[in-house]
Structure 1
Amino acid sequence: MSTFLPLVEKSSEELVEPLLRIGPVVVPYQPHSSDPLPSRTYLLIDPNTPISSEEILSELDAGVEKVIVSPKLAKELLNHVPAQRLALLLDASNFSAVSDTVRNAVTGVILKMPTADIDFITSVARFFASCTVYVLSAAHTPPTTASIRQLRTVGASFVIPSSQLTIGPSSGSQINISDAFTAPITSDRKDGLFPTVVCDETGHSLGLVYSSVNSIKESIVTGKGVYQSRKHGLWRKGETSGATQDVVSIRLDCDSDSLEFKVVQHGAGFCHLERQSCFGAVGGITALENTLLSRLESSPEGSYTSRLFNDPGLLRSKIMEEADELCQAASPEDIAFEAADLFYFALTKCVAAGVSFADIERSLDHKAKKVVRRPGNAKPQWSASVAASSSKPPLSSEPPSANDEIISMRTFDLAAIEAEERLQLLRRPVLKSDEMMAKVRPIVEDVRIRGDAALLELTAKFDKVTLDATVIFPPFSPSSMELDDEVRVAIDKAYHNIHKFHNAQADRSTLVVETTPGVVCSRFARPVARVGLYIPGGTAILPSTALMLGIPAQVAGCKEVVFATPPRPDGSISPEVMYVAHLVGATAIVKAGGAQAIAALAYGTETVPKVDKLFGPGNQWVTAAKMLVQNDTDALVSIDMPAGPSEVLVIADHTANPAFVAADLLSQAEHGVDSQVVLLAVDLPAERLEAIEQEVDKQAKALPRVDIVRQSIAKSIIVKTTTVDEAIEFSNDYAPEHLILHLENASDRVAHIDNAGSVFVGPFTPESCGDYASGTNHTLPTNGYARQFSGVNTQSFQKHITSQEITAAGLKELGPVVATLADCEGLAAHANAVRIRLREMQ
């Protein structure tokens, strides 16, 4: 909230620059004026001035920070202009006539009244509880510093005409702008000084100094950094060192007891040690910009950065390459990695052209002020597909925000696309296996060679937790498994159901077949002795995965069951996972995540037991590590299946409940930004499909993980089909991890499903039940591997051994056949092993 709002008149243009250093200015609207308005302008539109909504939107797009309009005009604008850009101009006599609709659509009120009646202003402030109230008095003399302070106590500020402001001494007819600005500032220090944070244009802190009323006045008027030294009086920054400052803005904090100076720092830096900041070296974007500026001035001959500065073609190619790699990235780690590369090359181009990061931020701020938006479609050369887009109403003219932007899927019609485009719809995002293997290999090798030492270092690096030991062995302490009773009961019920279903799958009988008289063949199951179960941490705690992997291992009778899961920030494991580990009889828990955990399980360390088979989902790093170790004969370990991002495919016809369909889509979309969500709409009319899309948007915005959902849904698709058979054919080609059937007579359609990890039949079978407690397993093949792999089941934890027993009579019958075939293959020893026995029987 500004200390006061200056109303700038034509005759006071010399005051504009100092005023803009301390806040926004109010400028009356002048029709047909070509004079550019300063930044941070509140545009005051007189109710009697003819102006259209389109003209107002144009002013806002041009950079006006806020428009101040009559209630009538506000009502016309409220569906087009966000509340933070809209304020009301009211006469004191009619403030209560403002409708709730208009009141809720603005964030500021300028109240025109004869004098500043504090009691009346207090009641207005209560009525407009969510707005900042400004008072424009009809008095011909300016408010005093005392009245400015008093008005601030009720959450209001004065609008002061610039004719009543001056940069000279205050008088009865004019108040010095610095006096008005500093009027509400208070200090709890004995010397009366105000703590002042100094930062650069990008908001990075440069240091802490002190200000006085006199130093603030000089800074406002001169535009230079002037502070108050506690020993030497006024301190004009850079007066002797040359490290001067240009003041961009001066702001009060919320308590009006400290200030922020935003400056452009010149010379060696702010600190007396000739560093940019008193708090030491800066990092991130600012550090990169400083490095690039330094390299631009004196980069070593032949250095890579020098090549980029001197070869625009190379720089252009690298920017395009890194942009493409960022588009392909899926996991949070990869996205951060590729985005950093793109920032480096993009900022190199900016520095080469003399564009600073502050310039970029100013451009971003200017773009954010636009209220009229283009559709935002990609240019033809960048479009991934030219298939028909969904028929949605145009987006609101408000600037997109985390709360307002429509969360929607892309729509395609099978009847309107070619075979090649259909094939594209079946494909998942490209997983760069070779690149991931190259990134993972050093991590795996480090753990294989250095064992626990490497595992501890990598856990500190990637999981951000410093540990003394990585493995917990039973018995697990009761304090590590403390749960709410409701959660414990839910886990126990899920355990019962999952155990019951998986126990029924166990192969405990011996298959015996007499293939020929006297030749008996058998097949029997044995548990995999040592199994490693990876339980992801990441963006969600997954005790359900611990159940889904631990129970079949327990039922199968595995002798060693080793959990691996990322630790929490305090180094502990979530009590839910600990409790499940206790239930399933885990023999060890490794406190580590990612590729390093997979390597520890595959090779073993001084404390981590080596396992024979690895199970569990994970990000690209985990998947790449699993695939790497299973191909290493030193590891002698197998894996359950290749696993990728979570995915769901929903087939819906006219019987589907739009809310149910939307909820099922979102239940997978919230797993991660790379989750895959597909809706096959079977002959749905436009209004029915629109109802589903509206439900997706509404339900998504109510979710705590809406930021994740917003990204995954944007990459997801709706495919319109004509018939159920056509939809099932597409689904079988897609081979989804989860398939949900919102169909008439849905159970009759299951017989036609050839490829899917798990099928959820009918309107009352949400995928969530399979994820947690119905009994089936939720560790399922993704990325189309449902064509070749089953989901995890009890037999995944068993191996099968065959045996045969042949009597003498049986060998007499079978032996000649075997000897003949061995001779055919030229394997004389094989034939001899039979004939030597046959001769013995003669």
Structure 2
Amino acid sequence: MAPALLAAIDLLNYREASPGLNPPQLSFVGNVFARVTPETVDQALVHLQQSIGRYANYLGAASLTSLDDVVSLLDAGAAKVFVTRQQLDQLMALNIDQDRLVLCLPGNTKQEVIDTIAGTQVDVYSHQVVDIELVEAWLKEYGTDRPDVFVSFANPDMDSVLRISKLSGIPVIPVQFLTVDAQSEPGLLGVAKLIMANATSNRADGLFSTVVTDERGIALGLVYSSEESVAESLRTGRGVYQSRKRGLWYKGESSGDVQELVSLSLDCDNDCLRFVVRQKGRGFCHLATPTCFGQYNGLSRLQKTLQSRKESAPEGSYTARLFNDQQLLRAKILEEATELCDATSKEDIAFEAADLLYFALTKCISAGVSLEDVERNLDAKSIKVKRRKGDAKPAFAVPASGANGVSNGTSKKEAVKEAAEIPKSKDDSAGLKNGRIAMQCYITAKESPERIQAALQRPSQRSSDKIIAICHPIIEAVKTRGDAAVLEYTHKFEKATSLTSPVLKAPFLESLMQLAPETMKAIDISFENIWKFHAAQKEDKPLVVETMPGVVCSRFSRPIERVGLYVPGGTAVLPSTALMLGVPAMVAGCKKIVLATPPRGDGSVTPEVVYAAHKVGAESIVLAGGAQAVAAMAYGTESVSKVDKILGPGNQFVTAAKMIVSNDTNAGVSIDMPAGPSEVLVVADASANPTFVASDLLSQAEHGVDSQVVCIAVGLNEAQLAAIEDELHTQANALPRVDIVRGAIEHSITLVVQTIEEAMALSNQYAPEHLILQVRDAEKIVDLVENAGSVFIGQWTPESVGDYSAGVNHSLPTFGYAKQYSGVNLGSYVKHITSSNLTREGLANVGPAVMELARVEELEAHRRAVSLRLGVA
């Protein structure tokens, strides 16, 4: 190791106004030895944090009695600490890197030195040396192939310091004895002379080869130095070198491309200098390039570009948008981090990592943080000795993975897919009780209201913040990159890599609608019944009311011009949803109907959905699912028509995306309702058929593992409850989606109550998407319904008829939103406009009230709009 000059400072007494070096000049020296006492430990920790990366901090901790304080100094970034023999042994037992420890010698006699350093290979420190000859003697005997030896002096002078330096000792000199301007302060020790004491040159002119680098260690060029140029560089804080022709060369003096000196040092053989600088202006080279070896590459080049863009980004450029829109930048960082986590191949990982680094560095440059700042922090972290457990924060934690990196049978990427319902594995005990598929049962009379309320909680959904964080970058990508982004996400999530267009335009080819006759007939019957029910909801004529003589108010409806209909895909084919959303749009008279649904792996759409889209007159089918489909319809792309309202159910990502775009005033789009996983609540009394009850529960449980089903049993005894449980177990095991059913049953419950009134109170509290009444006189019980998406009355009305063919709509509010929202109906596709029509008599009748209220609200123009017409003051 090359000898290093250490400037010693006293943290308790040092002031910037003291003689000698100031803080910026300390960084040129490269290393600082700070004296630490129990009283100044906290100050030393602050000093370490503030000086991170500026210079190496060597701290004298031998006077500290607390080992924790010593460890804290190392953890905070001290390059080395000076310790006693006892502290050294304790720290070595803690596995502290011995390269970071310096052993303080108790005395300076030859025998004391030998006794102290015996059996150890750590650096040593001799304090306040008086007898220079004695230290010289044992340094010569110690040899050069040894750990570093640090020496401080009782009375430092140039001769003593140079003698120690010549023997490769490292002098520790109080800062007040040092200067970078020996000519102005001849009584102090010149730093340049001390640094160059051991420098050697094989050149005839005695100059020293000098490599100039930036703070990242990238070579800018090769120059020459002399002791004089080094002294001048230290004095001015600039890059000053020795020209072989012109003498001292102040870099950039004529061009303006000056260099701010960061530090300088000798190499391991003492025959080459390294100057670390911050280059200003166009660059280091006379050809106006950043380096004499050409342009920067990689991250350094990106940093220069971003810094330039920050100063003068072209208007409308993407980088300018990122600097000006922190939410967009945040979204892109989150998006790229997710995509990097999902990448598996070497090429994809490199591609996604490059994207993430671009956006992360944009964030840094935006905040005035450089790569050098980041790398200094990395270096500081690399020498920490206190280690945290390092687990992810709860918001980012994922379930424990198996050896193959999957959790509960799915990867993170799959969890983002359109259908988030992951079947339970055969070995999973979900939904099982004593080996049988069964719901948890509560008798309300034996439980507290709080316990029942907790039992009625919907299945835990992923953090809304996390879902939104995932959706935001997807939406932004579609918003900014249109078709390309939609295709990208369809390839990624649906694996439909063969798709070259995100849209299937009408008229749809007959070959895309090849169906079995019975399937086509079923769709046709459903279409007709849905049409009839929704057509009956049309308003025959405008509402007209004369509120006062001559004052006529009216309300009339107009269809929403453009609607987007989201039809989920995933684990089930859902042409019924296309009908439920599309038929009322036709009845309402919407001019443009856009349907979106995730394609299959081969890029096609199920023929049932294509046929339904054809029946309802859809303009096109967007071949995408999830947030990307919602965004495409909300903002429009090159191929996807922008819509005014988006309707349809979906998973948590679809729901979150709908909420995001509806809150974006630039999108100008509304939504039908928040809609999440399916749910049903069945109220059953002793008259109910156990087979029917179980079948109704299972009809919703098979939608997905995030579905929930609830049975409220009114006055049923153990045998009657057991009959329902037996049917549930038997029917579930006969279903092809039994493993999905078990996932839903895991968080589904049976509540046993005594009266129908209690049952309906609990139902209204829960506000189910589907409410089934399998009770006596079911029609009369409907009067007790306050909150529900849709009600199915009596034992001959399974929920299934509402899902498909009865005529009512199956796009309904879930997750308790039935307290605030209606299901999709004809009114979902129309807007109401009001009008007023006054005669002069009418204005005279109502005008005084208008003028008085305008006066009270101090809106004079409002008042005058009436008074001028009536000719009153």
TM-score by length of 1: 0.55
Equivalent residue, structure 2, for 1:821: 853
1:616 to 624, 648, 655: 648
Alpha-carbon spacing, 1:409–1:767, altered in 2? closer, same or farther (3 Å): same
Alpha-carbon spacing, 1:572–1:603, altered in 2? closer, same or farther (3 Å): same
- Tell me whether 1:707 sits opposite 2:742 in the alignment: no
Residues 215-238 of structure 1: CA distance to partner in whole angstroms, max 9, x if unpaired?
xxxxxxxxxxxxxxxxxxxxxxxx
Task: Say which SS state the counterpart of residue 572 (structure 2) adopts.
Answer: coil
Equivalent runs, 1:40-189 vs 2, <5 Å? none
Instruction: Please tell me whether the aligned partners of residues 652 and 743 of structure 1 are also in contact (alpha carbons under 8 angstroms).
Output: yes
The one-letter code sitting in structure 1 at the alignment partner of 2:554 is S
Equivalent residue, structure 1, for 2:775: 743
Instruction: Please tell me whether the aligned partners of residues 683 and 773 of structure 2 are also in contact (alpha carbons under 8 angstroms).
Output: yes
Residues 588-641 of structure 1: CA distance to partner in whole angstroms, max 9, x if unpaired?
111111110000000000110000000000011111100000000110000000
Alpha-carbon spacing, 1:309–1:517, altered in 2? closer, same or farther (3 Å): farther
Instruction: Please tell me whether the aligned partners of residues 559 and 829 of structure 2 are also in contact (alpha carbons under 8 angstroms).
Output: yes
Residues 519-571 of structure 1: CA distance to partner in whole angstroms, max 9, x if unpaired?
00000000000000001110001000000000000000000000001111221
Residues 799-837 of structure 1: CA distance to partner in whole angstroms, max 9, x if unpaired?
000001000011111101100011011101000000000
Task: Say which SS state the counterpart of residue 759 (structure 1) adopts.
Answer: strand
The offset of 1:426, in angstroms, is 3.1
- Tell me whether 1:691 sits opposite 2:723 in the alignment: yes
The offset of 1:741, in angstroms, is 0.5
Q: Structure 2: how far apart are the matches of 1:319 and 1:441?
A: 16
Q: Structure 1: how far apart are the matches of 2:870 and 2:479?
A: 52
Q: Structure 1: how far apart are the matches of 2:580 and 2:524?
A: 13
2:824 to 779, 785, 792: 792
Residues 472-491 of structure 1: CA distance to partner in whole angstroms, max 9, x if unpaired?
22211111111100000111
Instruction: Please tell me whether the aligned partners of residues 575 and 608 of structure 2 are also in contact (alpha carbons under 8 angstroms).
Output: yes
Equivalent residue, structure 2, for 1:661: 693
1:633 to 643, 665, 688: 665
Equivalent residue, structure 1, for 2:617: 585
Which structure has the bigger radius of gyration?
Answer: 2
Unaligned runs of 5+ in 1: 1-279, 285-299, 340-366, 378-389, 396-404
In angstroms, what is the RMSD of aligned CA positions?
Answer: 3.4
Instruction: Please tell me whether the aligned partners of residues 331 and 619 of structure 1 are also in contact (alpha carbons under 8 angstroms).
Output: no
Instruction: Please tell me whether the aligned partners of residues 331 and 673 of structure 1 are also in contact (alpha carbons under 8 angstroms).
Output: no
Q: Structure 2: how far apart are the matches of 1:319 and 1:601?
A: 30
Residues 168-189 of structure 1: CA distance to partner in whole angstroms, max 9, x if unpaired?
xxxxxxxxxxxxxxxxxxxxxx
Instruction: Please tell me whether the aligned partners of residues 459 and 707 of structure 2 are also in contact (alpha carbons under 8 angstroms).
Output: no
Unaligned runs of 5+ in 2: 1-344, 350-375, 418-425
Q: Which moved more, 1:425-434 or 1:502-511?
A: 425-434
Alpha-carbon spacing, 1:310–1:694, altered in 2? closer, same or farther (3 Å): farther
Task: Say which SS state the counterpart of residue 632 (structure 1) adopts.
Answer: coil
1:433 to 443, 464, 469: 464
Task: Say which SS state the counterpart of residue 505 (structure 1) adopts.
Answer: coil
Sequence identity (%):
54
Q: Structure 2: how far apart are the matches of 1:698 and 1:282?
A: 50
The offset of 1:580, in angstroms, is 0.9
Task: Say which SS state the counterpart of residue 792 (structure 1) adopts.
Answer: coil
The offset of 1:301, in angstroms, is 12
Q: Structure 2: how far apart are the matches of 1:305 and 1:702?
A: 58
Task: Say which SS state the counterpart of residue 536 (structure 2) adopts.
Answer: helix
Q: Structure 1: how far apart are the matches of 2:480 and 2:495?
A: 22
The offset of 1:451, in angstroms, is 0.3
Equivalent runs, 1:210-289 vs 2, <5 Å? none
Equivalent residue, structure 1, for 2:755: 723
1:412 to 434, 437, 442: 442
Equivalent residue, structure 2, for 1:112: none
Q: Structure 1: how far apart are the matches of 2:384 and 2:562?
A: 53
Alpha-carbon spacing, 1:331–1:826, altered in 2? closer, same or farther (3 Å): farther
- Tell me whether 1:642 sits opposite 2:701 in the alignment: no
Q: Structure 2: how far apart are the matches of 1:701 and 1:309?
A: 56
Task: Say which SS state the counterpart of residue 551 (structure 1) adopts.
Answer: helix
Equivalent runs, 1:481-630 vs 2, <5 Å? 481-630=513-662
The one-letter code sitting in structure 1 at the alignment partner of 2:754 is T
Number of equivalenced pairs: 489
The offset of 1:408, in angstroms, is 1.1
Instruction: Please tell me whether the aligned partners of residues 448 and 603 of structure 1 are also in contact (alpha carbons under 8 angstroms).
Output: yes
Equivalent runs, 1:444-455 vs 2, <5 Å? 444-455=475-486
Alpha-carbon spacing, 1:508–1:710, altered in 2? closer, same or farther (3 Å): same
The offset of 1:317, in angstroms, is 7.9
The offset of 1:281, in angstroms, is 9.2
Residues 375-427 of structure 1: CA distance to partner in whole angstroms, max 9, x if unpaired?
x99xxxxxxxxxxxx9x9x83xxxxxxxxx42111111211222221221232
The offset of 1:771, in angstroms, is 0.2
Q: Structure 2: how far apart are the matches of 1:577 and 1:523?
A: 36
Instruction: Please tell me whether the aligned partners of residues 395 and 466 of structure 2 are also in contact (alpha carbons under 8 angstroms).
Output: no
Task: Say which SS state the counterpart of residue 437 (structure 2) adopts.
Answer: coil
Q: Structure 2: how far apart are the matches of 1:337 and 1:482?
A: 32
The one-letter code sitting in structure 2 at the alignment partner of 1:675 is S
The one-letter code sitting in structure 1 at the alignment partner of 2:458 is R
Q: Structure 2: how far apart are the matches of 1:752 and 1:330?
A: 42
Q: Structure 2: how far apart are the matches of 1:308 and 1:655?
A: 72
Residues 448-474 of structure 1: CA distance to partner in whole angstroms, max 9, x if unpaired?
000011111111001111211111222
Equivalent residue, structure 2, for 1:833: 865
Q: Which moved more, 1:730-739 or 1:464-473?
A: 464-473
Task: Say which SS state the counterpart of residue 699 (structure 1) adopts.
Answer: helix
Equivalent residue, structure 1, for 2:491: 460
The offset of 1:314, in angstroms, is 4.5
The one-letter code sitting in structure 2 at the alignment partner of 1:437 is I
Q: Structure 1: how far apart are the matches of 2:380 and 2:440?
A: 41
Q: Structure 1: how far apart are the matches of 2:455 and 2:831?
A: 37
Q: Structure 2: how far apart are the matches of 1:775 and 1:301?
A: 65
Alpha-carbon spacing, 1:823–1:617, altered in 2? closer, same or farther (3 Å): same
- Tell me whether 1:807 sits opposite 2:839 in the alignment: yes
Q: Structure 1: how far apart are the matches of 2:604 and 2:721?
A: 46
Task: Say which SS state the counterpart of residue 607 (structure 1) adopts.
Answer: coil
The offset of 1:508, in angstroms, is 3.9
Equivalent residue, structure 2, for 1:59: none
Equivalent residue, structure 2, for 1:423: 453
Q: Structure 2: how far apart are the matches of 1:305 and 1:540?
A: 50
The offset of 1:319, in angstroms, is 12
The offset of 1:507, in angstroms, is 2.3
Alpha-carbon spacing, 1:303–1:541, altered in 2? closer, same or farther (3 Å): farther
The one-letter code sitting in structure 2 at the alignment partner of 1:565 is T
Equivalent runs, 1:350-361 vs 2, <5 Å? none
Q: Structure 2: how far apart are the matches of 1:782 and 1:304?
A: 51
The one-letter code sitting in structure 1 at the alignment partner of 2:867 is R
Instruction: Please tell me whether the aligned partners of residues 322 and 338 of structure 1 are also in contact (alpha carbons under 8 angstroms).
Output: no
1:471 to 497, 503, 509: 503
Alpha-carbon spacing, 1:758–1:478, altered in 2? closer, same or farther (3 Å): same
Task: Say which SS state the counterpart of residue 615 (structure 2) adopts.
Answer: helix
TM-score by length of 2: 0.53
Q: Structure 2: how far apart are the matches of 1:304 and 1:509?
A: 76
